[in-house]
Structure formats: structure tokens, C-alpha cells
Amino acid sequence: MIYLDNSATTKIAPEVLDAMMPYLKEEYGNPSSKYYSLAEKAKKAVMEAREKIATLLGCDHDEIVFTSGATESNNMIIKGVSEYYGDHKRTIITTTVEHSSVLETCRYLESKGCPIVYLDVDQYGRVSPDQVERAIQETNPVLVSIIWGNNEIGSLNPIAQISKICKEYNVMFHSDATQVVGKVSFDMKEFPGLRFLSLSAHKMYGPKGIGAAVIRKESENIYTKITPLLHGGGQENDYRSGTLAVHNIVGFGKAAELIHNRASSDQQKLAELEQYLVDILSSNFGDKIVFNNDHTNKIPGILSVQFKGVNNELLLKKLSPYVALSTGSACSSSKPSHVLSAIGKSLDEIRQTVRFSLSPHIEKKDLDFFKNLK
Ligand code: PMP
């Protein structure tokens, strides 16, 4: 079977698994314990992982807070900022195409009386810097939270410009970078307005159940405190209590090191594979398909395609022995996609849409399967 659902999750890299195994066996120390070597080794392993992730993202190692994944990071940052600075009274600006872990968090806060502005997007799912600036001027928000790259259609938002605007207006800016880490190279130091980031290890060939919230240090009047979701023993600078999952953290660190080293070749390969697939689909299906994404300024390897008149669920079931694809986000697969709806697609068009998400570990010949599909 060809696995083309890498936006849902990725296959753990063998090197990642090898790095994790000792911490599931003999190296079982608690990194918060003291005085004996088992604990010291665990602490050292966590620090090394932190440094690898910080190198990948361009932040400092003490700005990384380990969480269970991007869902938790998004909840923690948005609820945490809203509570710390605004007692849930100050506006949050977001978009209509966020992942459900951002949207549902915002809806929860809205139910508590917090004003939320949901910015509309263009036909490819992007907001414009002007829209963000206008909304900031109108609402004096406490936080702007905008997805970096979309998990269903792959479009990239203008993060550099939004970060600049947020810095100018002294507004905290959070971006959900879960889908872009490793697929788009960036250095957080080049985005001074970007104060918070969310990511998950299992989207980048690491283990499930581990992710990070990057909480940048305060600087130049930009504050970055949050009220934690989990209170307890004070791990992770008091931001996220609970015994650290050392094996998962080590795996996350190894995955970060691998993708950092391979970033440019992986990105190039993804772009080539995507173009190859676009060509195959276009020549095989012609005007019977519609690409929901444009082909520029996007995450390489994510394609959203409408097969006109074909029910997507029936198609995916029929193809399931040969190829793993999805109808959109795995996290809200029972509901019609809010992302496709936000870019103006009708319910019928949404029910005919399939998401392809590639990995650099496949070959062009794997995609030849689609040459013969009728
Ligand atoms: N944000 C985005 C953009 C995602 O694609 C996902 C996973 N589909 C998440 C957040 C949530 O990640 P996790 O399920 O690992 O918590």
C-alpha cells in the first residue's frame, strides 16, 4: 500500500525509534529526580533533545515547553494568554481555516464571553496582512493566532508580514506551525513579532503523543506569559507540570535533527513528487478534476483535489487496499471540511474532495498508480 496521508501522521523514522528504545528500557530515570546517574542521564537526554528542536526552529532551548502535541499547545497558548492578560475579556483574532484545536478553543473562550474575530480567507485559504492590521486597529486584541500552513490545502499564510505588524502594534502573535515544520525552512529569530508556536512530533517522523509550545522570552515590551493548563510539580518552567515523557522527547529531538539535516533535499523532493502527481492527475482526469489549492506559495506535497461527481468516501474505500488517502483533516473527518467551506466550496464539492499528502520517502513510480486509475 502507498501511504499518502502524511498530513494525518507520518511513519516513525528508524533512527528515531532506535534513539528512543534505551529510554523505554534501561534508562528509565525521572529527569526531575536528583543525585543519581539514572536521573542525570534522563535530564541530559531531555536537554539534548531540547537543543536539537531549538536549532530546527531558531529559538532558544529554554523557550521550548514539551506538551502532548499541537492540540495541547494550541489550547495552552490561546487559553493561557487569554486568561493571563485579559481575564477572558480581550479580543483574539484568528481565521476561519484554523485547525479544530484552535477554532474549538476560540469557540470555548467565546462561550465564556471572550470576543473572537474570525478573519475570512481568500479562495486559497490565505489572510492578507491588511486584514490583520485593520482588525488589530479595530479591536486592540490580546492575541493574533494564525495557522502557518494549512493542513487540508497546504496554503501558506504571510507569516513574516503578520509578525511585523503584530510587533508594530505590540500584539502577541501565535502560529500553528504543525504542518510546516521540516517542509518549510524558517528561523524564528527572523520573526520577532512571533511569540508562540505549536508543533507535533508525529507530523515529522517522530513519535505520537509529544509536541511543543514555543513560548519566546519577553522582550521590548512584548509580553509572553501564559496561565498554565496543568498545575503541579512545576516542570517546564511552571508552564506544564507532569513527569516528562523522556523516550518521546528523545524521539522528538532525533526527528528534529533528521529533518533539519535533510530539509532542503526533502523539500525539493516533495516539490518534484507533487509536480509529478499534478501532471499525472491532469493528464489522466483533465477537466474531471479541480485543484482546490493553487500551486505557488504552499507546503510542498499537500494537494486537495475535487473529483467531479465522485463521492470521496466511496472512492477512498475502493482505493484503500492500494493507497491511503483522506477526505481532509483526520481530526474532524466526520464533519464536512470547514476549510473547504471557508474557501467557497459547496457541500457537493467538499464531498468530492480528496487530500493527497506526500512524503519524501516515496518514489515517482509509486505515484504511477494514478496513471491507470479510471
Ligand atoms: N494543527 C494542525 C495544523 C494539524 O494538522 C494538527 C494535526 N492534524 C494539529 C494541530 C493537532 O495535532 P495533534 O493531533 O498532534 O495534537
Residue 157 DSSP label? P
What DSSP line would sit under 218-286, residue for residue?
Answer: PBTTB------SS-SS-TGGGTS-S---HHHHHHHHHHHHHHHHHHHHHHHHHHHHHHHHHHHHHHHHG
Q: What is the mean pLDDT of residues 43-49?
A: 98
Cell of 252: 522528538
Confidence of residue 303 (pLDDT cuts 50, 70, 90): very high
Catalytically active residues are: 331
Question: What is the average pLDDT score of the chain?
Answer: 95
Cell of 336: 464536512
Cβ neighbors of 363 (< 8 A, separation 6 or more) are none
Q: In what order do the strands lie in the sheet with 302-307?
A: 289-291, 302-307, 353-357
Strands 116-119 and 92-95: parallel
Q: How far is ligand 1, taken at its centre, from the CA of residue 138, in Å?
A: 30
| Closest among 120, 128, 16, 110 to 342, alpha carbons compared | 120
Give the rounded distance of the alpha carbon of 41 from its chain centre.
30
Report which protein residue has its CA nearest ligand 1's atom 5. Answer: 151
Give the rounded distance of the alpha carbon of 172 from its chain centre.
19
Please work out whether the CB of residue 5 comes within 6 Å of at least one atom of ligand 1: no
- Cα 257 from Cα 57, distance rounded (Å): 11
CA atoms within 13 A on the CB side of 304: 27
Please work out whether the CB of residue 67 comes within 6 Å of at least one atom of ligand 1: no
Report which protein residue has its CA nearest ligand 1's atom 12. Answer: 70
pLDDT for the residue 86 = 79
Amino acid identity, residue 127?
Answer: V
Confidence of residue 220 (pLDDT cuts 50, 70, 90): low
Confidence of residue 84 (pLDDT cuts 50, 70, 90): very high
pLDDT for the residue 218 = 77
Q: Could you report the predicted ipTM of this complex, rounded to two decimals?
A: 0.99
Report all structural domains of the chain as residue ranges with CATH numbers, in order of start: 2-8+263-368 (3.90.1150.10), 14-257 (3.40.640.10)
- Cα 93 from Cα 82, distance rounded (Å): 11
Please work out whether the CB of residue 200 comes within 6 Å of at least one atom of ligand 1: yes
Q: What is the mean pLDDT of residues 16-39?
A: 97
Q: How far is ligand 1, taken at its centre, from the CA of residue 207, in Å?
A: 13
| Closest among 214, 302, 296 to 252, alpha carbons compared | 214
pLDDT in tens, 110-162: 999 999 999 999 999 999 999 999 999 999 999 999 999 999 999 999 999 99
- Cα 55 from Cα 77, distance rounded (Å): 22
Confidence of residue 223 (pLDDT cuts 50, 70, 90): confident
Confidence of residue 373 (pLDDT cuts 50, 70, 90): confident
Length of the chain (residues):
374
Please work out whether the CB of residue 176 comes within 6 Å of at least one atom of ligand 1: yes
